[in-house]
């Protein structure tokens, strides 16, 4: 099979005409919101203000540079946590650190973390800062949950406070049989979501009602929260980035808002759509990434049981990443350059020195290093021969003429792994026994096993995904991955919608409550629907009046009280294509 022919739809030019054709079906108000004759492109930079009049984009990564929403800390109760803080040239003191309940939680708690020490530190990615390593103790009585992190210190006679959403997950213990979930290519604000008119409601394209905006992504997040994996890997293309240059300001703000709906820790690497350099390279998507999500690459551990590398596989010179302010970009394929490769080698070597036997080693990268354009573009094409000859003569950056030719050939054959670093990554994976790669970019499911490594490419959550939009669940059992990451043979992911029918709008599984689940009820009934062709274990949240309760159906997993409200979580396994009821009532 010629993979490049399967994946051609990835590049926006194949969908622009269908999107423009669809505009004739839009009401005039909606049309004006998407197509502006002043710039001649798709979209403009001002129409979003009618939906959010007080919108003010702003950086989310300021003083706290670890842990972050994109690189959270999963911390065991009773252990020390080291936070990295950029004091921005000031001498700090009087440290106060706390963990706060998530913004969306009806039950609000604040837990103060005892201060242990603070000393000057370093950061591999924030090299221009004044970094302090602040160590605190996570008390053993803090409930298992995901928390916002708040840091306050004094500097120059003034108090400085910074917070980071969803930065710390507290656990009682690390599970040997842990689970994680792979999401990719969620593409907030992508016009491709409305290229099929039947998907318009699920797309919620800049719907003025936030509850209906990006509905496809909201439903995926609800399912993830019910599954409650130990962590999520999100491998890039969070936004679109090919509209008018200032579009990034709105898109990054929106996707950050959406990701805060997750109730589980998520590790995030960028994709090509997150990093275009538009407007003569003055508007750089990767700068927005730094401001909203921090590092472009990183590593993390899940206790002693897993070590993951997260790479930026859109590691191009800004000229190569440039666009013209509408839909045209010359480079959208993968590349990783020497600085990042050396960091990867050093990180894997450092981990290998202390890793216990049986530790899972994984890679997160938007692009799959197996899918190399040099191998997949037909050498019989004279223009392909010309392109690689000129590329080998000069790249990083490429010549303007070759960028134009590369875009032409990419439109014809697609760009997957387009530049340097693929073989070096594969070699490092083999050398350091990395067993798993998680990838996106193609919007198509693919499972390839090679040299003992499982390369898992997952379909998109954007509505262009094939064979449907979905995600993968990975489960470790006795030190090995089981086969749950394949929902249907040979390589299909788990669909967000029942039977993959996006237009139908029915989720693969969901919870319906009899009363508002907001902490005001003294009793509650919930019906859980599983429309998948296999059983599913879910964690159903209940927010009640403070009290002592009993449950029928499922088993009580956790409870937490604050003031006059109580949060409970009930674990239940629903057989395939069936429903069950949970009742919570005073005992």
Q: Check: CB of residue 203 under 8 Å from CB of residue 193.
A: yes
Rounded-to-10 torsion of CA 244, 250, 254, 256: 110
Supply 324's token pair: 């013209």
Sorted by sequence, the CB contacts under 8 Å of residue 167 that are 6+ apart come out as 64, 67, 68, 69, 72, 73, 147, 148, 149
Q: Where are the alpha helices (DSSP H) in 187-262?
A: 200-203, 215-227, 247-259
What percent of the chain is predicted at pLDDT more than 70? 89
pLDDT, residue 225, reads 98
pLDDT, residue 12, reads 33
Beta strand extents in 101-178 (DSSP E only): 110-113, 115-120, 131-137, 145-155, 158-171
Q: What is the Cα–Cα distance from 506 to 471, expressed in whole angstroms?
A: 16
Residue positions counted in the chain = 587
Equal fold, 3-52+175-500 vs 78-171: no
Q: What is the Cα–Cα distance from 565 to 546, expressed in whole angstroms?
A: 5
pLDDT, residue 25, reads 29
- Spans of the chain below 50 pLDDT: 1-53, 325
CATH superfamily ID and name for 3-52+175-500:
Metallo-dependent phosphatases (3.60.21.10)
Residue spans per domain, the chain = 3-52+175-500, 78-171, 509-586
Q: What is the Cα–Cα distance from 149 to 72, expressed in whole angstroms?
A: 10
User: 78-171 has which CATH code?
Assistant: 2.60.40
Helix (H) or strand (E) holding 349: helix 338-352
Q: For 509-586, give the CATH class.
A: mainly beta
pLDDT, residue 58, reads 82
What Cα–Cα distance (Å) separates residue 506 from each residue in 203, 376, 517, 538, 582?
A: 14, 38, 21, 18, 21
How do beta strands 73-76 and 158-171 pair? parallel
- Of 510, 550, 539, 546, nearest to 527 by C-alpha is 510
DSSP string, 422-445: HHHHHHHHHHTT--EEEE-SSSB-
pTM beyond cutoff 0.85 = yes
How far is C-alpha 238 from the geometric centre of its chain's CA atoms? 7
CA angle 233, 441, 316 (to 5 degrees): 95
Q: Check: CB of residue 242 under 8 Å from CB of residue 326.
A: yes
pLDDT, residue 244, reads 64
Q: What is the Cα–Cα distance from 136 to 124, expressed in whole angstroms?
A: 22
pLDDT, residue 82, reads 98
């Amino acid at each position: 099979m010629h993979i490049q022919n399967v994946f051609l739809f990835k590049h926006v030019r194949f969908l622009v005409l269908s999107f423009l054709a669809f505009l004739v079906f839009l009401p005039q108000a909606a049309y004006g919101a998407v197509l502006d004759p002043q710039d001649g492109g798709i979209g403009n930079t001002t129409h979003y203000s009618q939906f959010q009049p007080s919108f003010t984009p702003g950086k989310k990564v300021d003083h706290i540079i670890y842990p972050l929403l994109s690189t959270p800390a999963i911390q065991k109760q009773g252990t020390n946590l080291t936070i990295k803080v950029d004091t921005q040239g000031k001498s700090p003191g009087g440290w106060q650190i706390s963990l706060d309940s998530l913004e969306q939680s009806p039950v609000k708690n604040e837990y103060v973390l005892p201060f242990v020490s603070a000393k000057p530190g370093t950061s591999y990615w924030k090299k221009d800062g004044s970094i302090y390593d602040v160590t605190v103790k996570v008390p053993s009585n803090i409930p298992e949950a995901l928390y916002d992190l708040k840091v306050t210190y004094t500097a120059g006679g003034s108090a400085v406070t910074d917070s980071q959403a969803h930065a710390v997950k507290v656990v009682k213990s690390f599970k040997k049989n842990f689970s994680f979930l792979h999401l990719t290519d969620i593409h907030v604000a992508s016009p491709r979501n409305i290229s099929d008119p039947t998907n318009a409601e699920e797309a919620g394209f800049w719907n003025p009602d936030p509850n209906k905006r990006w509905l496809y992504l909201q439903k995926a997040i609800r399912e993830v929260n019910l599954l409650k994996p130990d962590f999520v890997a999100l491998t890039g293309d969070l936004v679109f980035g090919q509209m008018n240059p200032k579009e990034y300001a709105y898109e990054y703000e929106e996707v950050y808002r959406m990701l805060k709906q997750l109730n589980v820790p998520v590790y995030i690497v960028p994709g090509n759509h997150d990093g275009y350099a538009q407007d003569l390279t003055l508007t750089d998507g990767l700068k927005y990434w730094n401001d909203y999500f921090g590092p472009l690459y990183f590593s993390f551990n899940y206790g002693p049981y897993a070590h993951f590398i997260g790479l930026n596989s859109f590691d191009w010179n800004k000229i190569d990443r440039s666009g013209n302010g509408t839909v045209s970009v010359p480079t959208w394929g993968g590349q990783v350059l020497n600085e990042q490769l050396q960091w990867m080698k050093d990180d894997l070597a450092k981990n290998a020195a202390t890793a216990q036997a049986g530790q899972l080693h994984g890679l997160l990268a938007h692009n799959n290093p197996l899918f190399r354009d040099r191998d997949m573009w037909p050498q019989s094409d004279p223009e392909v021969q010309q392109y690689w000859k000129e590329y080998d003569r000069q790249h990083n950056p490429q010549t303007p003429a070759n960028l134009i030719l590369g875009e032409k050939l990419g439109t014809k054959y697609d760009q997957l792994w387009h530049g340097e670093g693929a073989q070096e990554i594969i070699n490092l994976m083999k050398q350091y026994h990395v067993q798993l790669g998680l990838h996106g970019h193609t919007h198509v499911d693919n499972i390839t096993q090679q040299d003992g490594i499982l390369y898992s490419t997952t379909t998109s959550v954007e509505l262009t995904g094939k064979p449907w939009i979905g995600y993968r669940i990975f489960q470790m059992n006795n030190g090995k991955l089981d086969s749950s990451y394949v929902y249907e043979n040979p390589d299909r992911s788990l669909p967000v919608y029942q039977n993959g029918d996006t237009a139908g709008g029915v989720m693969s599984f969901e919870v319906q409550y009899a009363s508002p689940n907001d902490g005001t009820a003294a009793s509650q009934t919930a019906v859980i629907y599983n429309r998948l062709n296999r059983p599913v274990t879910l964690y159903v949240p209940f927010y009640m009046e403070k009290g002592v309760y009993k449950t029928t159906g499922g088993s009580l997993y956790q409870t937490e009280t604050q003031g006059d409200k109580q949060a409970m979580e009930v674990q239940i396994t629903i057989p395939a294509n069936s429903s069950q009821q949970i009742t919570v009532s005073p005992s």
